[in-house]
Chains A and B, each alone.
Chain A
Amino acid sequence: MMNNDRRDFIRKAGIGLLAGMGAASGILTGGGFERTTSAAWAVEPGDTGRRWGMLIDTRRCREGCTLCIESCHHTHNVPDVSSPAGTVEWMHKEDGRELLGSACPSTAALPALCNHCAEPSCARACPTDSIFRRTDGIVAIDYHRCVGCRSCMQGCPYGEVSFNWSDPRAALKNPSVDYPTRQRGVVEKCNFCSDRLARGKKPSCVEACPEGAISFGNINNPSSEIRRLLESNQTLQRKPELGTRPSVFYII
């Protein structure tokens, strides 16, 4: 859907803009090969607790596979809205270059989700503190406080917040009992499976991936598995130049 929208936009905006935006996407995402350095997982003073993070090994991600997305959307009762103008997504797959910039050698579709940024601009946009960063690094939404102003959607430079333009309950075919449903008029996005973490489980997308391509853990803990992987691999983040400090990393 994202790709279609973008294509649409380019077609409508004309060739002049096409050239501009095409180049812009490269520059915005760091013209050079902007690899993640250890600064990306450095512990900030005053932030000594947990910081949940995710690492996606795109070399293992199967072409055409959407098991992680299906599992996430089923677990969290994410509505399956058919019209593209109303889609709600917690996780989706997007062309590698769209996602990580021209530095990314892969044009395969890669999984994308909320980055649980350490400096979340979505939260700076919210007038009611309904989208906020928890002390464990998870950027969460209070569905009962959200007024539906959609400032956070504008505020997220990755387009990872969705709005319930229509009644989400009407678009649930097979609701799960593990997670509440939402109402029309509020926003939602990936919650890093805070619901499952509280029950001692791993995120649903991590469990669903048959290739074990997704790792999850506390990146503030130097002896965690995810930190070991981060330190021993070349990784990329989405649009690191925007200062949001994403907690989702990609191995290309």
Chain B
Amino acid sequence: MIEQALTGHRNYWIWSLALLAMVAGAFYASALQSADGFVHTGMGNNAIWGLYHAQLPFLASIAAASLAVLVPGTLQKYSFLARLAPLAAFLGATASAMSLLFIAADLGMQRRFLTLLLNPSPGAPASWQVPLLLLFLALTLAVGWAQVGAVQKGVKQPAWIRSAVMIAIPAGLALPVISAFMLAVVPGSELWTSPLLAPRLMASGVAAGAGIMLVMAVAAEQLAGFKAGEEALERLAAVAAWAGLGSLVLTGIEAGTVVLGNVTAQTSALGLLYGNSPFASASLFSLLAGAAAIGLLLVPSLRRSSIAAASLGALLAFSVWLQSGLTLILAGQVREGLATVDYAPALPEILLTSGVWAGAVLLITVLLKITASAQLEREGL
């Protein structure tokens, strides 16, 4: 199947080379970091975690979101989501792989990465993160690959796929919960100890994940001749809209509780997000853009136009990334005597982060191309 990745139009090559250039930037930044540590980043006692760690809750929730399509598309007979199942599997795999890279990038002692597997401490939620990510990566990659292979050969899916997906369900659902629990162990950090954090990550993750899958499916349709089916696309758009609405409601309930309770520690934490703080513009933009995208996705005519739906899906995903990626970590770590609001990522940090994202987009591009070609080949028979 790999050979299909190596044939393509000029635009495909330009796109891939541009992404590769960004990946090269990440290699450069990571070489700098292995030589000199974090001195080339904006992190320090003012910001204990930075851009790298800020990706993790978002990515965990995206990995979990892939189950929303993978499970019905694989386990149900005659589901119209079946065609999208490999896309969802590849999204889950990519998000897990990115998480692992960002975890590695954020270690002061990168050569001790394996310690995370060899010396876990089960009472600490953070210990579960890497093993679960590795498991989820292996399962989703194997499932996606086998599904594409089955489409290409025009045979039924191998039976083990069902068991693999069943194992992936608890592993995937655990990822955002672990992300929230890792933050919940910090007493006195009001943004992190909220019991609504895990459900909020899950709902917003499903919304963003469905948004990203919309973009993937529509891009594969427009550019590679993949056929997702109108029904499947509309279903994705509806999932994004309703999950997004759910996450907005949870955010509102949480803010309402804090405002009514009027406990100073909690209201000042909320103020860090929406009050007079440097994080306010990102938080408010995320809230407004998310609400707008969700509102528009609820309009049936917009939802049925694949380009409009994909653009709204992308906007929704971006707004969720701002909220459960950036501000959750960067604002959440601001505490007395500890981190301050005073953090700006440095260039190598940005290069590494965008390089990992570019690598992920490249991987998804190649996988989509393989998926589309497999489908085309089958239909050409």
Q: Which residues in A have some Cβ–Cβ distance to B below 8 Å?
A: 1-2, 5-6, 8-9, 12-17, 20-21, 23-25, 27-28, 83-87, 94, 98, 121, 123-130, 132, 145-151, 153-155, 157-159, 162-167, 183-187, 239, 242-244
Contacts and interface: CB of A to CB of B under 8 A. Distances in A.
B276 to A, nearest CB: 4
A98 to B, nearest CB: 7
B124 A17 contact: no
Q: What is the interface residue range for chain B against chain A? A: 35 or more
Contacts of B189: 154, 157
B87 to A, nearest CB: 31
B366 to A, nearest CB: 31
Interface stretch (B159-167, B230-238, B313-321, B328-336): B328-336
Nearest to B41: A165
B378 interface: no
- 4 pairs of A and B residues whose beta carbons are closest in the complex: A148-B108, A85-B44, A20-B268, A185-B108
A150 B56 CA distance: 14
Nearest to A164: B108
B341 interface: yes
Nearest to B270: A20
A5 B337 contact: yes
Given A129-B121, A166-B39, 7 more contacts: A23-B268, A145-B115, A146-B109, A149-B103, A154-B186, A155-B186, A163-B45
8 contacts: A5-B340, A12-B341, A17-B271, A28-B188, A85-B45, A148-B112, A151-B126, A153-B48
Given A128-B121, A184-B37, A159 B335 contact: yes
B106 interface: yes
Contacts of B186: 121, 125, 154-155, 157
A128 B337 contact: no
A239 B120 CA distance: 29
A8 B265 CA distance: 19
B272 interface: yes
A145 B188 CA distance: 27
Contact of B44 (A21, A151, A165, A185): A165
A124 B335 contact: no
Contacts of B48: 150, 153-154, 163
B108 A20 contact: no
A127 B340 contact: no
B349 to A, nearest CB: 13
B278 interface: yes
Contacts of A125: 124, 126, 182, 185-186
Interface string B166-191: 00000000000000001001111100
B107 interface: yes
A149 B44 contact: no
A147 B45 contact: no
Given A153-B48, A165-B39, A9 B342 contact: yes
Contact of A127 (B124, B267, B268): B124
B146 to A, nearest CB: 32
A147 B115 contact: yes
B121 A126 contact: yes
B201 to A, nearest CB: 17
B276 A128 contact: no
A155 B184 CA distance: 9
Given A147-B112, A165-B38, A129 B119 contact: yes
Contacts of B108: 146-150, 163-164, 184-187
Contact of B45 (A24, A86, A127, A167): A86
A129 B336 contact: no
A16 B119 contact: no
A9 B341 contact: yes
B338 interface: yes
B123 interface: yes
Contacts of A20: 264, 267-268, 271, 275
Contacts of B106: 149-150
A195 B46 CA distance: 31
Contacts of A244: 187
A1 B333 CA distance: 18
B157 interface: no
Interface string B91-123: 000000000000100111100110110011101
